[in-house]
Structure 1
Amino acid sequence: MSNTVADKARSSLTVDMDRHVQETWRIFQDYAEPHFRSHVYRKVDLPDGSSRIAIGERVMAFSGAMWDDPYANRMFDDNRFWPNHPLREGFDPKGYLSTMDAEGIDVALLTPTLALGNATIPNGIAGSALCRAYGRWVTEFASAAPKRLRPVYPVNLHDVNLAVKDARWAIETLGLAGFLVVPLPVGERALHDPALDPFWSLAQELDVPIQVHTISSLPDAEGRGPLVDVVAGAKRFGGSLFLHHLVSHRIEQQLALASFIAGGVLERFPKLRLVFVEAGGEWVRGWLAEMDARYDSPMMRRSVPWLTLRPSEYFQRQCLAAFHANEPLRGALGNELGASQLAWASDYPHHDSLFPGAGEAVRREVSTLALEDQERILGGNAARFYRWV
C-alpha cells in the first residue's frame, strides 16, 4: 500500500463498535427511581467479613470491593480473573477520551459492563428499572463529548410492553444511539417468538440499530452464573471459565443469528438493523453458508415457508458483524459476507481486549483491501448504520 493510501486510511473515520464503560454497582442505587432502590443491586456484608453484591435476595459472586471503587482490580474474590488490572484512565470521561485519542478512534459505541446482566433478569420490572438507571448514568457520562461517545441502551425483554416504553424513552428523551440485547432466550421464548415482535417493531419504527452483544454468566464451580443460568453448555461444562466463555460468546451469537434470520424476524421487519458484537466476525460467513445450503434444499426450505430470501441476503440487507481488532480477515470475506457488512470493535477495557494497539491492529489488518473497503470497515459502515451520514 502506498504512503498516500496509507495516510488516507489513517485519516478515515474510525468507529469502535463495542467499547465498554466500567460502571460501578453503586450507580444502580444512585440513578434508580427511589421506590426501586430496595429491589436493585446492593452491597451485603457476610459473616466471614467479606462482602458481596446482591440483587433482591440473591447474593452473587461479585466482590463488594466493586461497589463504589471503579479501580477495584478484583471483580471476584476468587482467582478467575486474577490479575485483572483495569485501566484507571478509562473510568472518567476525560480519561476515556484520552484512550480513544491514543488509538486514533473518532467515535465509540459505549457498551455497558455490569449492566449487561440487567437484560437477563427474569423479573422484567426490576430488570427494566436497572436498565433505566444505567441509561441515566451513561447519558451523563457521554455528555462530555456527545458526538464521540454514543451509548447504546440495554433492554430487558422479559416484560415486553415495559421494554417498548423504556426503549422509546431512551431514544426520544435520552437521545441514545440505539439498543442492546443479549442473544439469550427470553425465559422460554426464542428471539423469534412473535411475543417479542412489539420491540423489534419499535426499533424499526425509531430507525435505530440493535446491538446483539454476548454475555458470559461467569459460572461458579457448579456452572451457575451470578445473573443468568441459561447459557448454552453451562451445565455441561460446569465451572470451566475457558469452556463457558467460548460457548457463551460465539455459539450464543450463532443461535441468535439463526433466530433472527431463519426464525423470520428480519423477514417480518425488513428495515430492522442488527450489529453482532463481542464474538468476533470470522464465524459469520461460514454460518451463513450453512444456512444458505439448507435453504437451497427444497426439502429443508419447506420448513421455513416465510423466508423469501436466502439467509445470507437478509444479513447483507440488514446486518453488520464487528470483528475483533486483531482478528484475521483471511477467508472471512466472500460471497456471503462483503466489506459492506463488516465493522470492528476493541472490547476495551476488558481482560481479553487488545489495549493498547487496537487502532493500529485493525488498520494493519485492513491495509491489503481497497481504500474504499478500508473506509467502510474502519467507520463508514457504522456511520451508515447509525444514520450519522
Structure 2
Amino acid sequence: MNHLVISADSHAGADLLDYRPYLESRLHDEFDAWAKGYVNPFADLQAPEAARNWDSDRRLRELEEDGIVAEVLFPNTVPPFFPSANLTAPHPTAQEYALRWAGLRAHNRWMADFCALAPGRRAGVAQIMLNDVDDAVEEIQWAHEAGLTGGILVPGVAPGRGPDIPPLHSDVYDPIWRTCAELGMPVNHHGGAGAPGLEPTPVSLAVFIVEVSWYAHRALWHLIFGGVFERHPDLRFVLTEQGCDWIPGVLKTLDYYFSRFTSGDATAEAKFGGPAAAKLSLTPSEYFARNCHVGATFMKPSETPLRYEIGVERLMWGSDFPHDEGTFPYSREALRRTFHGVPPEEKHAVLAGNAARVYGFDLDALRPHADRVGPSRQELDQPLTELPEGATSPVFSPETIIRAW
C-alpha cells in the first residue's frame, strides 16, 4: 500500500486580473486603474511557472508527479490593492483598509472556487485582517459556509505597531477566537507574519531572513499568556513554515517563566508576569499539547529526532509548493531524506493523518489517489544517499541549523 501524502503547506492565488470578477462592480474602475500601474515585486509571479498558482489541471498533474494527493492552500499572489503579498504586507491604515479588505475578500472567494475544482483535495485558507474585528468575524462565518476547511490565516502584529492594531494577546480579538472555536475553523499563523517592515537593502534583507521566523513564533506565547487557549479550549492553532526545531527549547523556556510567574511575589518574574499567569490553569507546554499543531514544512533530518518532544500527533509535513524553497519536484527524495527511519504509523501521522484530523480531509476518499500516485512504503524506507542536483529546498542542505530560539 502506498503512502498517502498531504501537504499541509502549499500556496495558491489568482493571476492579478482574474481577481476582478470577485470584486464588487463599484470597484472595477478603481481596480482597473490600480492594476494598470501595478508592478509586481516578485519575479516568480512574473515567470511562466507562476501559472502553478492558478492553473488547476497543471497543479494537480505536477503534485501527483511529486507523490502528493491533497494540500492546504495558503495565499501566494498579490490581492487587489495590496503593495505586496499579504503575508508580509503591513496592516493598512484606516484610509487603506476598505480597498485592501475588498481585495482580501476577492481572494477568499476565488480560493473557494479554486478548491471546488478539486473536491476533497484542497483545504483553502481564508485571509482576514485585524483592523475591524466585526468584519473579520463575518468573513470567518462566510468562509465556513463556503467550505474553506483550511480555516483562517491570522496576521501577525509587529512590535511597536501602535494602539490601532493591538498585539495578538489583546482580548479585543476574542470574538475571532470564539468564532473559530465554535465553528471548528483552524487558526493558522504562517512564517513571514508579524515582522517589521522589510526594507530592500542588502543588510535588511539578510537580517529579515535570519529573524523572520522568530517574529512568527511570538504568536505562541502571546496567545498562551493572553489566556486565549484558557478561554477557548477547543481552538486549534497551527504554526506553519517556521521550522519546528525551536519548539522544545521554547516550551521549556515558557514553562520556566510560568513557574517563576507563579512562585510568589518575591521573584522579579512574579511581579511582572504573576497577574497574567494567575488566570491560567495549565502550563504553556500543556496548552501547546492541547491546542497547537505544527505545519512542519519541508522537515529537515535534524528535526526528525525532535518529534517525540514536539508530539508526533502535532506535526504535519508540507511541500511549500510552488515556492523555490519548496520540495517540488523532489518531494519523494525529501521524504526519504527525512523519514526513512521513522516507523510506518508515525510516517502516516505526519504525512497525512494529522492534517486529515486538523483540516477535515477524508482519507478513505483520498486512498485511490494515493494508490495511484503515492510513494511506496519501500521507497520511503530507503535512505537518500545522493542529493538531487539543482534542488533548492533547505531539506537538502548538508548543514544542520541549530536555533537559539
Could you say which TM-score interval applies, normalised by the shorter chain? Answer: 0.7 to 0.9
Q: 1:120 maps to which residue?
A: 91
Q: 1:347 maps to which residue?
A: 320
Q: 2:38 maps to which residue?
A: 52
**Paired residues, number:** 337
8 Å CA contact 1:156–1:163 kept in 2: the answer is: yes
- Note the C-alpha offset of 1:332: 2.4
- Note the C-alpha offset of 1:191: 0.7
8 Å CA contact 2:10–2:321 kept in 1: the answer is: yes
The reply on whether 1:12 has 2:28 as its aligned counterpart is: no
Structure 2 residue identity aligned to 1:52: Y
When structure 1 is superposed on structure 2, of 167-176 and 267-276 the one drifting more is: 167-176
Q: 1:211 maps to which residue?
A: 188
Secondary structure at the aligned position of 2:288 is classed as helix
- Note the C-alpha offset of 1:86: 3.1
- Note the C-alpha offset of 1:312: 1.1
Identity of aligned residues (%): 28
Provide the C-alpha distance between the structure 2 equivalents of 1:87 and 1:121, rounded to a whole number of angstroms. 26
Q: Which runs of 5+ in 1 are unaligned?
A: 1-7, 46-50, 54-61, 74-84, 217-229
Using structure 2 for the length normalisation, give the TM-score. 0.75
Provide the C-alpha distance between the structure 1 equivalents of 2:228 and 2:281, rounded to a whole number of angstroms. 12
8 Å CA contact 1:274–1:320 kept in 2: the answer is: yes
Which of 147, 156, 164 is the aligned partner of 1:183?
156
Larger proportion of strand:
1
Provide the C-alpha distance between the structure 2 equivalents of 1:236 and 1:87, rounded to a whole number of angstroms. 22
Structure 2 residue identity aligned to 1:203: C
Structure 2 residue identity aligned to 1:380: G
Larger proportion of helix:
2
8 Å CA contact 1:20–1:112 kept in 2: the answer is: yes
Q: 2:249 maps to which residue?
A: 286
Structure 2 residue identity aligned to 1:93: S
Greater relative CO, 1 or 2 (CA 8 Å, sep 6+): 2
- Note the C-alpha offset of 1:181: 1.4
Q: How does 1:199-348 map to 2 (within 5 A)?
A: 199-215=176-192, 231-232=195-196, 240-248=204-212, 250-297=213-260, 298=263, 299=267, 300=269, 302-303=274-275, 304-328=277-301, 329-335=303-309, 337-348=310-321
When structure 1 is superposed on structure 2, of 138-147 and 178-187 the one drifting more is: 178-187
Provide the C-alpha distance between the structure 2 equivalents of 1:369 and 1:112, rounded to a whole number of angstroms. 31
Which of 35, 39, 56 is the aligned partner of 1:93?
56
- Structure 1 residues 151 and 311 mapped into 2: Cα distance closer, same or farther (>3 Å)? same
Q: Which runs of 5+ in 2 are unaligned?
A: 80-84, 363-405
CA RMSD of aligned residues (A): 2.9
The reply on whether 1:106 has 2:69 as its aligned counterpart is: yes
8 Å CA contact 2:177–2:232 kept in 1: the answer is: yes
Provide the C-alpha distance between the structure 1 equivalents of 2:206 and 2:154, rounded to a whole number of angstroms. 23
Provide the C-alpha distance between the structure 1 equivalents of 2:115 and 2:157, rounded to a whole number of angstroms. 28
CA deviations 1:177-219 (Å, max 9, x no partner) are: 3111122257431111111110111000101111111337xxx
- Structure 1 residues 108 and 141 mapped into 2: Cα distance closer, same or farther (>3 Å)? same
Provide the C-alpha distance between the structure 1 equivalents of 2:90 and 2:136, rounded to a whole number of angstroms. 10
Structure 2 residue identity aligned to 1:28: Y
8 Å CA contact 1:15–1:107 kept in 2: the answer is: yes
Secondary structure at the aligned position of 2:328 is classed as coil
Using structure 1 for the length normalisation, give the TM-score. 0.78
- Structure 1 residues 239 and 146 mapped into 2: Cα distance closer, same or farther (>3 Å)? farther
8 Å CA contact 2:133–2:175 kept in 1: the answer is: yes
Provide the C-alpha distance between the structure 1 equivalents of 2:214 and 2:201, rounded to a whole number of angstroms. 14
Secondary structure at the aligned position of 2:306 is classed as coil
Provide the C-alpha distance between the structure 1 equivalents of 2:103 and 2:140, rounded to a whole number of angstroms. 13
